[in-house]
A and B are shown apart, each in its own frame.
Chain A
Amino acid sequence: MRISRRALAAAATVAVLLPLSACGSGSDGSGSTDASGKVEGDITFQTWNLRANFKPYFEGVIADFEKKYPGTHVKWVDQPAEGYADKISADAAGGTLPDVVNVSPDLVAPLAKAGLALDLDKSAAQYKKEYLDGAWASHQIPGMTGTYAFPWYLNTGPLFYNKSLFEEAGLDASKPPTTYDELFADALQLAKKSDGKVATLANVPTIEDFGRYGVELMNKEGTAFAFNDAKGVELLTKYKELYDAKALDPQALTATPESSGKKFLTEAVAMNPGSALDLGNFKKQAPNLYKNIGITDQITSTSKVNMYVMGVMVNSRTKHTPASVAFAHFVTDAQNQMSFAKKVAIFPSTAGSLDDPYFTKEDGTDETRVRIAAAKSLKNAVNYTPVLFSEQMKTALRNEVAKALQGKESPKTALDNAVKACDTLLKQQG
């Protein structure tokens, strides 16, 4: 049997174009926004690096849900922390996004803009009253109406400091800094006394630092960034002083949270943000440091600390909207959040949960002290990370901050450039 060149060329073209068309199609099977029907069907639930430590908890939650709603089946998938956003974007682009997804507000924003996140104000408004107002609002996107994820757990963290390094510098270790002005004064003294060998901080200022310093991050409409105001320039100027005096670690310009945490462990840095989970780490990995550990609140000049919010989003293309909404609510309801909070140092976003004795009653341990202090600060905490602040914007800000610290640009120019770059990226996001 012989075939013509033309037939062969056509076959080859089809072979190449067939997968091309398949890959480009994505998911077009949009689901219903009506969550009032019967709760049934098979759904997939994706968490963010939680299987390793909380497998029994999630299996229990899923079993309870399936028992409560016979006819449902939840398939649980967990993704590693590394590259989580990339995994979601690949799934979203390929039309394989799970029905219920663990997200943070900055991940929700592009998904909502692409029409992939269910508007809970339309589909699940009856649950709104169960959550703290601020937490419910955390998954609202500037420029859009609606709320695009159930609030899940909240997190904030204290600031750890090394008491012996403070004392060696002639500082009162029982009175750690609480505002940025105090922090800068202490940091300069620490660097001077140690001849530049001990830095107080290991990270350059982030968008959250600008927020805690009292800088207006975006305009009221949420259409443009504004952290290049006089207050923003003031903060960066002070960080430049720290950098020049080696009160900010010289490797801060390339640091990651992990690398700065390691510097704190090795006592090269005097202060580092963390969570109650870190105490166990210090006890095991750096017993000397643990003996000298001081715990204080986050530095803030606004009297409001920063909090991180996790959410549970429902895929708007799900074929089982009632089951997906019911499950997302079930995972995040007061009972399950409280039960989760008791397994790990996180805080529930449900109304009234933070008044539970677990978050208010001292038992003399450091862990409880950290937990109670954090729970107290959460009541008026703010999520300083703008929902529309993407990874590319974070990079743009870090790069411009680095230029200012190195003296290649003035703080004002650096922040103007950062705002310009972020505004451009914001416009490109549409």
Chain B
Amino acid sequence: MASSSSTARVRRQLPTSPWLFAAPGLLVVGVFILYPFVSTVVNAFTDRRTLIPGTFVGLANFRELLHDDMFWIGLRNSTLYVLGVVPALVLLPLLLALLVQKNIPGITFFRSAFYTPVVASIVVVGLIWVWLLDERGLVNSLLESIGVGRVGFLSDQWLLLLSAMAVTVWKGLGYYMIIYLAALANVPRELHEAASVDGAGAVRRFLTVTVPAVRSTMVLVAALSSVAAFKVFSEVYLMAGPDGGPAGEDTTLVMLVQRTGTGLTGRVGYASAISVVVFVVTVGLMLLVLRADRKEDA
């Protein structure tokens, strides 16, 4: 009996030293990740404001969300962003990676050039695109010179959103291209050679050899880019302005969190409720993509 009790005690005990090594990391995770997360979830059920702690209000914030037009506009735009940006970011970087994959003289220059937008500051990128797409900017001057006339890229609700999507895709191409380059390096050359021998052309080789070989990378890119797209803030904020475009029609959910929850009169509780929705949807998106991947495997 005594023996089984001490065995149980031994089983309940853990070695100390690994935990001591892990302690700094755990502390950082606790303070900077776990605490803000738990705090956000807790705040979502309160009417907390920036300077006032607030009280527990149950599901009131979530009920209010259902009747808040701006929330639905934000949800619509964030969803549209995912639908517009993710397919482009899954396919275009792959094509770009195929282009720069070959080791020909000067290819490093092109790889670096395509990667440049990734390292450029989003604020600088946003400002440059605002100048380009302005009513009197370069793009409109070109369009006018060929007789198309000026286009309201920055004043029309939908064109503004599309313009912001284009910037997101432009800025993300290089990043995902690098991921695809790594994946393409692992595709056996023999597979391409065998397909060639069987008479497959470039397109057929791409569809029957390359795509299946990098499919798991495509899923990864889809998962990463969909989460990033749903949480988009900077591009839309810089191009549409702090109000989120004309009448706030280009507001995304994260912009709404920022607008609602910050400042001296910020509604921290309500903004936290929106953040919880963003969290749930992004987790849902990840699960959806991974589930689709598993179905393909099966």
User: Which of B13, B39, B136, B155 is in CB contact (< 8 Å) with A254?
Assistant: B155
What is the bound-complex CA distance between A2 and B30, given in angstroms?
23
- Judge whether A85 is part of the interface by a CB distance below 8 angstroms: yes
Closest A residue, CB atoms, query B29: A16
Q: A259 to chain B: closest CB distance in Å?
A: 8
Residues of B near A23 (CB, < 8 A) are: 35, 39
Segment with Cβ contacts to B, from A159-167, A275-283, A335-343, A422-430: A422-430
- Judge whether A62 is part of the interface by a CB distance below 8 angstroms: no
What is the bound-complex CA distance between A85 and B265, given in angstroms?
10
- Judge whether B246 is part of the interface by a CB distance below 8 angstroms: yes
Q: A119 to chain B: closest CB distance in Å?
A: 17
- Judge whether A52 is part of the interface by a CB distance below 8 angstroms: no
- In the complex, the answer to whether A4 meets B35 with C-beta atoms within 8 Å is no
Binary CB contact string for chain A from 265 to 307 against chain B (1 if under 8 A, 0 otherwise):
0101000000000000000000000000000000000000000
Q: A400 to chain B: closest CB distance in Å?
A: 8
User: Which of A5, A89, A268 is in CB contact (< 8 Å) with B50?
Assistant: A89
What is the bound-complex CA distance between A386 and B61, given in angstroms?
28
- In the complex, the answer to whether A425 meets B14 with C-beta atoms within 8 Å is no
- In the complex, the answer to whether B265 meets A399 with C-beta atoms within 8 Å is no
Residues of A near B134 (CB, < 8 A) are: 251
Segment with Cβ contacts to A, from B94-102, B194-202, B207-215, B255-263: B255-263
Question: Given the interface contacts A251-B155, A392-B259, does A16 sit within 8 Å of B247 by beta carbon?
Answer: no
Residues of B near A402 (CB, < 8 A) are: 243, 246-248
- How many chain-A residues does the 8 Å CB contact rule pick out? 50
Closest A residue, CB atoms, query B50: A89
Secondary structure at the A interface, as helix, strand, loop or mixed, is helix
- In the complex, the answer to whether B26 meets A8 with C-beta atoms within 8 Å is no
- In the complex, the answer to whether A399 meets B264 with C-beta atoms within 8 Å is no
User: Which of B15, B39, B155 is in CB contact (< 8 Å) with A253?
Assistant: B155
Closest B residue, CB atoms, query A389: B265
Closest A residue, CB atoms, query B267: A428
Count of inter-chain pairs, beta carbons less than 8 A: 127
- Judge whether A256 is part of the interface by a CB distance below 8 angstroms: yes
- In the complex, the answer to whether B247 meets A406 with C-beta atoms within 8 Å is yes
- Judge whether A93 is part of the interface by a CB distance below 8 angstroms: yes
Q: Give the interface centre of B34, B155, B265 by most chain A CB atoms within 10 Å.
A: B265
Question: Given the interface contacts A12-B26, A254-B241, A402-B247, does A2 sit within 8 Å of B16 by beta carbon?
Answer: yes
- In the complex, the answer to whether B30 meets A12 with C-beta atoms within 8 Å is yes
Binary CB contact string for chain B from 95 to 120 against chain A (1 if under 8 A, 0 otherwise):
00000000000000000000000000
- In the complex, the answer to whether A114 meets B51 with C-beta atoms within 8 Å is yes
- In the complex, the answer to whether B263 meets A399 with C-beta atoms within 8 Å is no
Binary CB contact string for chain B from 257 to 287 against chain A (1 if under 8 A, 0 otherwise):
0011011111100000000000000000000
Q: B76 to chain A: closest CB distance in Å?
A: 15
Q: Give the interface centre of A16, A398, A399, A406 by most chain B CB atoms within 10 Å.
A: A399
- In the complex, the answer to whether A15 meets B30 with C-beta atoms within 8 Å is yes
A 123-161 contacts with B by CB, 8 A: none
What is the bound-complex CA distance between A392 and B52, given in angstroms?
17
User: Which of B51, B135, B265 is in CB contact (< 8 Å) with A93?
Assistant: B51
Binary CB contact string for chain A from 2 to 31 against chain B (1 if under 8 A, 0 otherwise):
111110100010011001100110000000
- In the complex, the answer to whether B243 meets A5 with C-beta atoms within 8 Å is no
What is the bound-complex CA distance between A6 and B241, given in angstroms?
52
What is the bound-complex CA distance between A348 and B154, given in angstroms?
40
User: Which of B39, B240, B262 is in CB contact (< 8 Å) with A20?
Assistant: B39
Residues of B near A408 (CB, < 8 A) are: 247
What is the bound-complex CA distance between A116 and B12, given in angstroms?
51
Q: A88 to chain B: closest CB distance in Å?
A: 6
Residues of A near B267 (CB, < 8 A) are: 392, 428
- In the complex, the answer to whether A16 meets B155 with C-beta atoms within 8 Å is no
- In the complex, the answer to whether A3 meets B19 with C-beta atoms within 8 Å is yes
Q: A406 to chain B: closest CB distance in Å?
A: 6
Q: B22 to chain A: closest CB distance in Å?
A: 10
- In the complex, the answer to whether A254 meets B154 with C-beta atoms within 8 Å is yes
- In the complex, the answer to whether B27 meets A110 with C-beta atoms within 8 Å is no
- Judge whether A44 is part of the interface by a CB distance below 8 angstroms: no
- Judge whether A250 is part of the interface by a CB distance below 8 angstroms: yes
For the complex with contacts A20-B38, A89-B263, 12 further pairs of A-B residues with Cβ separation under 8 Å are: A2-B13, A2-B15, A8-B19, A15-B26, A89-B266, A110-B50, A253-B245, A390-B265, A402-B246, A402-B247, A430-B49, A430-B52
Task: Kindly list the 9 A-B residue pairs having the minimum CB-CB distance in the complex, ordered from nearest.
Answer: A114-B51, A402-B247, A253-B246, A110-B264, A390-B265, A2-B13, A16-B30, A254-B241, A399-B248
- 11 A-B pairs with CB atoms under 8 Å apart are A2-B15, A2-B16, A16-B30, A92-B51, A114-B52, A249-B135, A254-B155, A255-B241, A395-B259, A398-B243, A402-B243
Interface positions of A (Cβ within 8 A of B) = 1-6, 8, 12, 15-16, 19-20, 23-24, 85-86, 88-89, 92-93, 107, 110-111, 113-114, 116, 249-251, 253-256, 266, 268, 390-392, 395, 398-400, 402-403, 406, 408, 425, 428-430
